[in-house]
Structure 1
Amino acid sequence: MTNVITCIDGTDVSAAVCDYGAWASLRLGAPLEFLHVLEKSEFPEQRNLSGNIGLGSREALLEELAALDEQRGRLALEQGKLMLEAAVARASAQGVEHPTSRQRHGSLVETLAEMEDTIRLLVMGKHDENLGEHVGSRLESVVRTMHRPILITTAQFTPPQRVMLAFDGSATTRKGVEMVASSPLFRGLPCHVIMIGSDSEANREQLAWAQGILERAGFEAPTALLGGEVERQLCDYRAAHDIDLLVMGAYGHSVIRRFLVGSTTTSVMRNASVPVLLLR
């Protein structure tokens, strides 16, 4: 059985990421596993400083620097273990049965790629680095590399009560509608289907198709066909209808999916006050 893999790193978003992971695990009935990766760039397993001898360094100094690196790595490893233990205890207290944990030393992207076949849903949080001009290099790399649904959380946990699906009638977003309809993750929650485009018969037919799929699966599925700029319309609709979670396809060429690779995506991800579930 595939797992809900929840990435934590000890930053101020980790508690919310744990809670969203536990929420998803309980909703999906899937095992929960917490993952902590010590990046090699920050905590190298062993640094070779011998090349610095010719720059006037003393051998004793090099040995001391190596010892400090080793101590720093051990402390980071121990901190990670304690963090994983706390995450497992937190999830258990919320009713998750037998949550597990895993710690790795290396690259987050490479680690997740190796685990991809075991992932049903990947849960990650927006970090401080995500609040600037870019979404964040590691998060962006994960989104571009993985072919699994990714739930990107905010810093505060709120159990979702209303979901909004960005829809454009493409094969990817039609598959997204079917995924939402068949998944227990959002069962019992209203799912608003929003399309940005002209008020044409073709677009109305696409919306009607999406609404029908969701309603036959037992969802309340309000729809809206809106003109104008994609990001503005999605954000305004979300705020007006108190949406708790945004669902959209990751990457592509259509009007909604195209903004996921450009500056608009960066802005949406940076400014989103609700979690975003990216479907692949």
Structure 2
Amino acid sequence: MSEPQTEQGKSAMSEIQIPEMTGKVLACVDDSVYAEAVCDYAAWTAGRMNTQLSLLHVLDKNEGTTAQNLSGSLGLGAQENLMQELAELDQQRSKLEMEKGKLMLQAAMLRVEEKGIVNAESRQRHGELVDTLIELEPETRILVVGKRGADTESAHGHIGSHLESIIRALHKPILIAQQSFAPPKQIMIAYDGSATMRKGIHIAAASPFGRGIPHHVVMVGADTDVARAQLQEATDVMTKAGFEVTGAIIPGDADIALAEYQERENIDLMVMGAYGHSRIRQLILGSTTTAMIKRTKISLLVLR
């Protein structure tokens, strides 16, 4: 968690400017075990926020590509014939991957329609996933992704190969779904007094996303007067917005303490800020955000 907030920082709580939250719920659909939960969470979120749902499948430009440079290992004639056959095979595989993606999108559309979403759209794109999401960021209100994609879905205790890059690249809320979905009954905000989370508290208070759901605002660290003042300001924002709020300061390392609190209090969804320190410092000290994504067994809403 970040360093204690200064008096100047505390007084800035009421001066925080909250950007207008517009755009679509964008959900990344693939063939991983997280796909159904992504659809369910995206449908639930779009319904709560009364906004359009867009289902996206990105066909990686490298998928299905197997052609290699065979010079020197084959005779010239054989090489020419084989390279032509490989090119034709790659083209067939690309078409199959495209059709597979279309079928996944069709299944996803049916699933969200069963959840009551009638105006969803589906899109298939070619290229790098992160680049595509950056391109679509201006029209995105919140992104929903699985914790891991199909290429790393069995790597328990790790995060997907694209996930960290997505969190660093985008400046919109990112909902990271686990393998199963149930409407959250309790939400925990991991609060640290940082600028990101001061703004995050105001966003949470103003958004219909968590309206009517009890919230826990939790700080990790020493129970000091400064920490109590920070926590009180945060819980006041939520209380004045009509939320049922529980505030807590707990000791320990952030990733371990927050995970233990979540299990003890039966929290269904955690909200936290993303990568509050410089990239160089993270390489040396690690990141609480990454540690929480790896450790937690519930879905996470990551704010930028």
User: How far does the alpha carbon of each residue in 1:123-180 deviate from its partner, in whole angstroms, 9 at most, with x for none?
Assistant: 0002262635642321111111000000000001111110000011122111110010
* Equivalent residue number for residue 273 of structure 2: 249
CA contact (8 A) 2:255 2:292 kept: yes
User: How far does the alpha carbon of each residue in 1:213-253 deviate from its partner, in whole angstroms, 9 at most, with x for none?
Assistant: 00111101100011221112101110111000000001113
1:89-128 aligned at under 5 Å gives the runs 89-127=110-148
RMSD over aligned Cα atoms:
2.0
* Equivalent residue number for residue 139 of structure 1: 163
1:152 aligns to 2:176 (yes or no): yes
User: How far does the alpha carbon of each residue in 1:11-30 deviate from its partner, in whole angstroms, 9 at most, with x for none?
Assistant: 11101110000000000001
User: How far does the alpha carbon of each residue in 1:154-213 deviate from its partner, in whole angstroms, 9 at most, with x for none?
Assistant: 001111110000011122111110010000000000110001121111111111111110
CA contact (8 A) 1:6 1:17 kept: yes
User: How far does the alpha carbon of each residue in 1:85-141 deviate from its partner, in whole angstroms, 9 at most, with x for none?
Assistant: 111111112111210011011000000001110000000002262635642321111
1:66 aligns to 2:90 (yes or no): no
> Which residue identity lines up with residue 8 of structure 1 in the other structure?
V
| C-alpha distance in 1 between matches for 2:71 and 2:87 | 13
| C-alpha distance in 1 between matches for 2:70 and 2:253 | 55
* Equivalent residue number for residue 5 of structure 1: 26
CA contact (8 A) 1:134 1:266 kept: no
1:198 aligns to 2:222 (yes or no): yes
> Which residue identity lines up with residue 5 of structure 1 in the other structure?
L
How many residues in Structure 1 have an aligned counterpart in Structure 2?
Answer: 273
* Equivalent residue number for residue 239 of structure 1: 263
| C-alpha distance in 2 between matches for 1:173 and 1:40 | 37
Structure whose residues are more often helix by fraction: 1
- Structure 2: tracts of 5 or more residues without a match: 1-21
1:213 aligns to 2:237 (yes or no): yes
> Which residue identity lines up with residue 42 of structure 2 in the other structure?
G
> Which residue identity lines up with residue 78 of structure 1 in the other structure?
E
TM-score by length of 1: 0.91
Which consecutive aligned stretches of 4+ in structure 1 deviate over 4 angstroms post-superposition?
Answer: none
| C-alpha distance in 1 between matches for 2:96 and 2:169 | 30
SS in 1 for 2:70: helix
| C-alpha distance in 2 between matches for 1:170 and 1:10 | 37
1:35 aligns to 2:66 (yes or no): no
| C-alpha distance in 2 between matches for 1:156 and 1:150 | 17
- The percent of aligned pairs where both chains have the same amino acid is 45
- Structure 1: tracts of 5 or more residues without a match: none
| C-alpha distance in 2 between matches for 1:163 and 1:216 | 17
